[in-house]
Structure 1
Amino acid sequence: DKGFFEDAGVDVKIEYFTAAKDRDAALTAGELDGVLCDEVAISIYQNSDIDMQIISVTDGFWILVASKDSGIQSMADLEGKKVGLSENTMIEYLVDDMVTSSGLAVEDIEKVAIPSMPTRLEMLRNNQIDAALLPAPFNDVAIADGGLEIIKVDNTEANIAVLGMLKEAITNKSAEVKAYVEAYNKAVEYINSTDISEYEDIIIKTVGYSEDMRGNITLPTYRKAELPPVEAVNKVMDWAKNKGLLTKDISGTDVLHEVE
């Protein structure tokens, strides 16, 4: 809406999806050049011979929210509880990491696969699950409804989300991809240096916040386009391989591409 892409001379069409399976269906149909996804998705793409490259991390945070009637006050209370997530994604990776880091075993919780974010939120609100890992605006809504924040994870601790671009697009549309990154960096500068009230309308409309969240929306400090550490990517790839999601050996060096 601020014209950063237009100023950079690149025509960008943004498609919105509420579930990874819908995004992946559009990608498979050849409707997308790039995706905002996660490293687990990148590994699965690569394993399926879709050469998706990471061109940057993106910033944000996820919150593990417990329902107000669950009795959960800390990670230790998750034992025997139902946790809503989407399987075979970074969300499940993060839940596994949270659980094992707290001293529990992954088997100590009951994972409930709920790919759709709106459905996951509704099931949490209706006490059909005890906790859920949610992004904005769903985590804000859940907490506003009385849910309890158990733990927050941002991109300083894990690469929650990345910007992936097909190698074919990087090769055949190199000028456009470079212009996209330049526009992204200018947008980062604008957001970090401008009071949120100047663009809050755009956030509410685009992300889907309710109007009563106006004035209470919190954003991270965004970084300009940069690649994640190879070691962090390797950790996720190893997790995916151990879960049986991959039949190939894929490393961070296979999926990282610096746009120059």
Structure 2
Amino acid sequence: MKKNVVLITIALLLLVLAGCASEKKENTVQKQGQLQNITIGLMPDVDSIPFIIAQEKGYFKEEGITVTLKPFKSAMERDSALQSGNLDGAISDVLAEAFAKAGGFDTVITALTNGSYKLVVNKSETAASVQDLKGKNVAISKNTIIEYVTDRIATEGGLTTTDMNKTVIPQIPARLEMLQNNKISAATLPDPLATVAVKNGGRVINASEQLGINPGVMLFTTKAINEKEQEIQAMYRAYNKAVDYLAREPMDSYIDMVIEKAGFPQDVKGALILPKYKKATAPQQKDIDDVITWMQSRQLIQQKYQYTELVDTRFVR
């Protein structure tokens, strides 16, 4: 009997040891093997192009990562998906990050993006300057990067932020359509839709790059930052490869694919001028501080967030 007990005990010990070895092996595989998938939200703008290139040219695959790209037509839809846990990260802006922090939702800025935002008047509008838009309807999306840029353009042009009649049209394609149908005098649009408006007769009054401002950023949830650090690093390595590709390749070699994958209007072909994309880098502190000051002046947030509260620079140069 005692002999049987000893044999059973030894057998149980072997099973435990085997289980520990299996668990150790599994942990090693997780550390050294496949990376987890990540899901990124894109907007219909030029910020999205490096991600599309990285996907289509296989740069994500080269880095051992699977990235799902999900398109959105409005900031509200994008933010809802991010906060509901359907996205790990998204092309976004400093305002969205500050709103998330104020609402108790944990996200963090990981890098700058290279977007362009333009205030465009319709083809029938006689306005030649910002001053000429006083009292006229200008389409925006409220409390977003679009309104921020619009206010900065107004101030730069000698108007107050209330001198123009800001008309709220959240979805970007709808804003473009109303502009082109002359239902509004002007609209602030991201590229490439601003390019479409100009190609169809609209005129640019001013733009974010002319003001030297760049409030567009890449956001990730804190959960993703904590659980998918290697994946995000791999994603940015692929992103940087895409930036190199865009710098060396003529647009003709990829524009049709980008139009299809990003859902851009065909009108952008032959007219689109891309920004000079930068490899993943942290946003400037001044850009962050200027947005926070603007938000506080409008009483959109109460707390003056510091740069280090909003930005995590571990993933970029």
* Partner in structure 2 of residue 214 of structure 1: 269
| Residue-by-residue CA offset, 1:148-187 (whole Å, 9 max, x unaligned) | 1111223981124111111221111111011011111111
Counterpart pick for 2:162 among 107, 118, 129: 107
Give yes or no for contact 2:95–2:144 (8 Å, CA) kept in 1.
yes
Matched, 1:19 2:19: no
Matched, 1:28 2:83: yes
Matched, 1:56 2:118: no
SS in 2 for 1:14: strand
Separation in structure 2 between the aligned mates of residue 60 and residue 42 of structure 1, nearest angstrom: 17
Counterpart pick for 1:194 among 237, 240, 249: 249
What amino acid does structure 2 have at the position aligned with 1:83?
V
TM-score if structure 2 supplies the norm length? 0.78
Unaligned runs of 5+ in 2: 1-55
| Residue-by-residue CA offset, 1:201-257 (whole Å, 9 max, x unaligned) | 222112333435433321111000111111220110121122122133322221111
Matched, 1:95 2:150: yes
* Partner in structure 1 of residue 189 of structure 2: 134
* Partner in structure 1 of residue 99 of structure 2: 44
Matched, 1:254 2:309: yes
Unaligned runs of 5+ in 1: none
Question: 5 Å matches for 1:136-151?
Answer: 136-151=191-206
Separation in structure 1 between the aligned mates of residue 170 and residue 221 of structure 2, nearest angstrom: 24
**Count of equivalent residues:** 260
* Partner in structure 2 of residue 229 of structure 1: 284
Distance 1:249 1:216, change over 3 A: closer
SS in 2 for 1:168: helix
Give the alignment's Cα RMSD to 1 decimal: 1.6
Separation in structure 1 between the aligned mates of residue 288 and residue 93 of structure 2, nearest angstrom: 10
| Residue-by-residue CA offset, 1:43-87 (whole Å, 9 max, x unaligned) | 001111112111111112111110122211111211111110001
* Partner in structure 2 of residue 168 of structure 1: 223
SS in 2 for 1:84: strand
Matched, 1:10 2:65: yes
SS in 2 for 1:112: strand
Which of the pair is proportionally richer in helix? Answer: 2
| Structure exhibiting the larger radius of gyration computed from Cα positions | 2
The one of the two structures with greater contact order (alpha-carbon pairs below 8 A, sep at least 6) is 1
TM-score if structure 1 supplies the norm length? 0.95
Give yes or no for contact 2:199–2:267 (8 Å, CA) kept in 1.
no
